[in-house]
Structure 1
Amino acid sequence: MTSTTYPEFDGATEGKEVARVFAEGIRGKTILITGVNRAGIGFTTAEAFASQSPAHLIIAGRTESKLKESIDALRTQFPGVDYRPLKLDLSSQHAVREASAKALSWSDIPTIDIIVNSAGIMLVPERTLSEDGIEMHFATNHIGHFLFTCLLMPKLIKASRSNPAGATRIVNVSSLSPTMTKQMRWSDMNFEKINGELPKEEQPMYDIHRAWGATGDLEAISYLPLEGYNQSKVANVLFGIAANKKLYEKYGILSLAVHPGVIETELVRHMTQETQKAVQEMRENGSYPFITAGAGAATSTVAALDPSLGVPEMRNGKENYGAYLIACQISDRANPGAVSSDEAEKLWRLSEELVREKFSL
């Protein structure tokens, strides 16, 4: 039965503390983390893993200068680790394919034991399409990670052959979005239709958007920045659920998703003044307690390492219980559409269509 080893871990637990108690799952392993820069939780996640002597730590991000800055800082603290920078622009499928080909070419790193898909963008103010014609949140936060992870699967599968079942893992860093949206926007993934014209189950949860500072007739517009983000972050959870169906029984590869907590990072750089004000009010009234960047790494680290976690299951009428963690513990707060096996399989098929490749896993 899937559970966590340490029920006392919570939103204040630091990533390094988690890494310390699960150190055996790190030592000598190869770990890849996306979205690493000094100002984000990708960096504190890398710190947590680096603190317990992995063999290789692959640090992926969009900017070479920020990758160098991160690796220099990590090497100062933990010099005994082999750090490998990997330039990765998740918004571009071409760039993702180049990055994955480079990682696959490293003969001295034949396996990857853990991938933490931590990179993301949030609240792009205007509807924007990627170079591949996909809404930018969805393209970057989900499709980029989907393609990157699937292309790296040969090294994950090779790692799984020498690891216990469930020790080779894919962790997708989601958010609270699975609690704030009902279902994927299947009939309008690029936000071309007016919200009020969508099927009821696909329409945004308008009260949540108003609480985040949205104004006006929300049913009469197509694009809401928070909904773009929410859709992509629900996809992070569904991706893991579909991956488990394809990978666990055959290879013992486990995939989980997490809400890392609310942390002040560059992720919110696109926030409007109205949203900033609304979030500050929610912070003051305790709706969204902020945590440290170190604590923001903890839930991902639990998901990557805790040996008590297993394949999500049905419990108390909740489908895929164990697929989604909040504050270092399994959460059942996700809306049913965000943890549905049928929705997950539908997303996998759509994702393959959007990257124009089928993956025989």
Structure 2
Amino acid sequence: MIKFGFSTTGEEAAAALSSNIRGRTVIVTGVTPGGLGLETARVIALHDPKLLVLAGRSREKLQQAEEAVRRAAPQTALRQLVLDLGSLSAVRKAAAEVNGWDDVPAVDVVINNAGIMATPFALTEDGIESQFATNHVGHFLFTQLIMAKVLAGGPGKRVVNLSSNAYRSGGVRYDDWNFQDGKTYEPWAAYGQSKSANILYSKSLATKYKSKGLTAFSVHPGAIWTNLGHHAKDDLKAMGLMDENGSLKDTETIKWKTLGQGVSTTIVAAFDPSIADQSGAWLSDCQPTETPEEWLQDPDGPDRLWKLSEQLVGQKFDA
């Protein structure tokens, strides 16, 4: 098997793991054209999954995504799912739809890819800061509501949460997740909070469902220019990652990846059986990687986040 690393593309990783993709039912959230989710779905579709569910907020963009996947893999069984992660009622509706699919008794892999980044302060209709709501809380609720079908999946059943090395911008503010209703809001700190939550949620899943054969991982896809970055151009220029003309620049510590390279870590996290014994890990450049920050090493962190998440969605989930 090839050695996966920084330069590995999603196509290369999927080809190496093809037998682990074949025959699986997979959900990918956030399949916006031009983004990581659609590229993730496209490379999965090349390897004969049983069913590939494309989940996203806009029916129009879902149709565009389906057409793009069909061009790459015309024979793949596809299904669209409207999923607005910024609305708990919409998440419940989407989960109910999945649970109502009698012809889909199990979901083998859930890839929680959707997200927003460094956006201006906003509260959702549920009163939750929008990045925390979209990037973590919505995915938490969706995944837990369909958990019975996930646990019915075959060997290798797995949940993958898209995180980022931007988790270093801040941990979860358990007593002030809304930044004093915006008074102390800083876009990157809020993004970091949501990305730290992705890591902690993966740790929780790994612990709570270990006895049921479920594994879970969080991933840093790398620095990739997608539609997520349109709010952050000034910040990227200030960081030295973009010149005044909008061209991307590498720095000593951050190297840009192509879109194809950007999905390889997700593919490895979702389908590589060799990492199963490291469930709960954060992957970067396709490899399990340490997250030494104290808020991620706190043994109480995963459970604190779980309880906060239950509080925010108004529902408890037994595991």
Same fold (TM over 0.5): yes
Work out which of the residue numbers 172, 182, 203 in structure 2 matches 1:184: 172
Percent same amino acid among aligned pairs?
A: 39
Q: CA deviation at 1:10?
A: 1.1
Matches within 5 A, 1:326-345: 326-345=284-303
User: Deviation at 1:275?
Assistant: 4.0
Q: Deviations over 1:216-264 (max 9, x none)?
A: xxxxx61110111110010000001011111111x10001000001111
Q: Does 1:172 align with 2:161?
A: yes
Q: Structure 1 residue 188: deviation in Å?
A: 1.2
Q: Give the residue type in structure 2 aligned to 1:342.
A: D
Equivalence for 2:204: 242
Contact 1:178 1:334 in 2 (8 A): no
1:152 corresponds to 2:146: yes
* Cα deviation 1:155-197 (Å, max 9, x = unaligned): 11111xxx33xx000000000123343x322231110189xxx
**Number of equivalent positions:** 314
Q: 1:291 aligns with which of 250, 257, 271?
A: 257
Secondary structure in structure 1 of the residue aligned to 2:216: strand
Runs (4+) of structure 1 moved beyond 6 Å?
A: none
* Structure 1 counterpart of 2:213: 252
Question: Structure 2: how far apart are the matches of 1:334 and 1:49?
Answer: 32
Greater Rg by CA: 1
Matches within 5 A, 1:205-220: none
Give the Cα separation in 2 of the matches to 1:310 and 1:74. Answer: 28
Which amino acid counterpart does residue 346 of structure 1 have in structure 2?
R
1:230 and 2:192 aligned: yes
Partners in 1 of 2:30 and 2:237 — Cα distance? 23
TM-score, normalised by the number of residues in structure 1: 0.83
Structure 2 partner of 1:300? 266
- 1:344 partner SS: helix
Provide Cα deviations, 1:102-127, integer angstroms capped at 9, x if missing partner.
Answer: 111111111100000000001112x2
1:13 is aligned to 8
One-letter amino acid matched to 2:130: M
Match of 2:224 in 1: 263
Q: Is the 8 A contact 1:323 1:339 kept in 2?
A: no
Write out per-residue CA displacement over residues 289-340 of structure 1, whole angstroms, 9 at most, x where no aligned residue: 1111111110011001111113448xxxxxxxx6101000111144131244
Separation in 2, partners of 1:275, 1:15? 25
Matches of 1:104 and 1:158, distance apart in 2: 12
* Structure 1 contact 123–228 (Cα < 8 Å) conserved: yes
Greater relative contact order (Cα < 8 A, sep 6+): 1
Query: What RMSD over aligned residues (CA atoms) do the two structures have, in Å?
Result: 1.8
In the alignment, which residue of structure 1 is the partner of 2:310? 352
Structure 1: distance between partners of 2:9 and 2:175? 40
* Contact preservation (8 Å) 2:233, 2:242: no
Structure 1 unaligned regions, length at least 5: 195-220, 314-321
Residue identity matched to 1:304: A
Amino acid of the residue matched to residue 290 of structure 1? W
Partner Cα distance (1:16, 1:42) in 2: 14
